[in-house]
Amino acid sequence: MPLHERYLVNVDLSTVPLLRTRCLVIGGGIAGLSAALAAARNGQVILASKAPLVESNSSYAQGGIAVALADDDTAELHIEDTLRAGGGLCDREAVRILVNEGRERCRELIDMGIEFDRVGGRIAFTREGAHSRRRIIHADGDATGKAVIGAMLAAVERNPNILVLENHFAIDLLHMDGACRGAFFLDTRYGRYIRAEAGFTVVAAGGPGQVYRETTNPSIATADGYAMCFRAGAELADMEFVQFHPTTLYLPGAPRFLISEAVRGEGAYLINQEGERFMPRYSEQAELSPRDVVSQSIFKELAATRDTCVYLDLRHLNPDTVARRFPTIKSVCANYGVNISTDPIPVRPAEHYMMGGVATDMNAATRVRNLYAAGETAFTGVHGANRLASNSLLEGLVFGHRAGMAEPVPVGDAGPAALQKRLPARGTSLDIDDICQSLKAVTWRNLGAFRNAERLAETVETLQSWSRYVLAEEFHMSPGFEVQNMLTTAWLITESALRRNESRGAHQRTDFPATDPAWTRHSRIAIDSDDKERSS
């Protein structure tokens, strides 16, 4: 299958402007910003983002950051909650690093000036699904991501060692002889190419949300990091584990706006069309079950009732408390005629987060020398088969920082041949929108919360057909590059899901409904030295 073929336009590299830096960071979310700020302690950094830096998944984070800072909480409890939610696939050492270093990273955010919400002068903690304690810190009620990213961006702007390149789409990594040497960019404002060579490169390019028809992710989440690192020879792991957030707004004409898990943490119930609270029938933890359990329970309830949505009910909660804790959610719902204190909110699950990703060690290093990955792009082993709520921002902070503290390994002169296999144009016009919409429909139908071998095999065949067509095109703009990245990542998810013959966490196979102890291991997929995919 030719999904790993390079799709770069024919460009004479000698004519492309060249930038050199000690560290190149691709991605402007919390992991990328954490990496850039850490790397800037030791030298020059280029921070590149395909969009303005304020636009990232991290900016939209509502619930907050899970961190064991409360008086009745401990690192050990946070570790155990994470392991329990992860379905037996979390790496305990990675979780230990996350929880222990996370406290230090969060204290740095407080020192940076972020005003986390307080009660009586002390930091306020809320609870979310599968947490045994109230340990989620939050800012501006339900606008934590915006507050955190805003403060980190201000720190980046003040740092003289960081050069920011906004609206620069990373087309591909520059790599040779098993080493990464930077990246090749399209400046989307002016339609020109730029080459950035770096001692080491950190890919923190976000998740695959736009691969799916319904997602909480913004339009920039087109799976670029996974595909880019895959083509460069990195190994990917556990790509079958895609998390669906249980509660996104479901109204005609409304975006799939996320209704934070913190709403259930503060006491909201899930009810069906008959007004029945149904989660206790599926799990003892009811609405505070892990996300995979809640999402799968909602889909089962919808199948049983033949309805299109369920409802999140806050009517029994104090309206003043609701307004103070969830001002953004209240405002957005009001724009669509829903008063969250008097009206149940219509919701259903949507794609939210990738637990798998580019395989790294505990220092965020991939198997490609001088290539690091962090944030949702990376697989650190922290999340296992199901991410514990609000561990994502923490992971971006901790492992982004570790990536930024890397020391480049000398690899010699890159030479002029770092870009290879440029493809000729077919002379036809490809309907990018049509391919994207068709892809989203297939993935939503076949790669959702429940899967089976027949539909997965059908998806592989479909993706092979589309990819042969798409890869014959030569692109000069980012939408063409994005659709290829989305096709590649959809294939990575499908192949991984097809091979895991069990149900575990966010991966549920209707033809293999049991959890198999033999599958208490990570799936792996990569391109070997002969440019053929290998998987296990």
Q: Report the candidate in 130, 443, 444 with the shortest Cα–Cα distance to residue 299.
A: 444
Nearest to 535 by CA among 230, 206, 241, 242: 230
Q: Which residue reads 């408390």 in tokens?
A: 321
Q: Which residues are catalytic?
A: 291
CA quadruple 438, 494, 179, 195: dihedral, nearest 10: 10
Structure tokens at 142: 């339900």
- Rounded to 5 degrees, what are φ and ψ at 382? -70, -40
Q: Rounded to 10 degrees, what is the CA torsion of 421, 424, 429, 431?
A: -10
* Cα–Cα distance measured from residue 65 to residue 56, given in angstroms and rounded to the nearest whole number: 16
> At how many degrees (to 10) do helices 92-111 and 392-404 cross?
90
Give which of 400, 373, 374 is closest to 180, Cα–Cα: 373
Determine whether 530 is exposed, middle or buried from the number of CB atoms within 10 Å of its CB (0-12, 13-18, 19+). exposed
How is residue 239 annotated by DSSP? T
Task: Look up residue 534 and give its two tokens.
Answer: 């290998």
Angle between helices 30-39 and 392-404 (to 10 degrees): 30
Q: Provide the 8-state DSSP code for 192.
A: E
Tell me the DSSP string of 278-314: -GGGT-TTGGGS-HHHHHHHHHHHHHHHT-S-EEEE-
CA atoms lying within 13 Å on the CB side of residue 325 = 28
The CA dihedral of 45, 47, 53, 58, to the nearest 10 degrees, is -90
- 356, 362, 363, 366: which is closest to 231 by C-alpha? 366
- Token pair of 131, please? 């947490």
H or E, element range at 470: helix 453-470
Phi-psi region of 313 (alpha: psi -120 to 50; beta: other; left: phi over 0): beta
Using CA atoms, how far apart are residues 44 and 192, in angstroms rounded to an integer? 23
Would you give the DSSP letter of residue 514? S
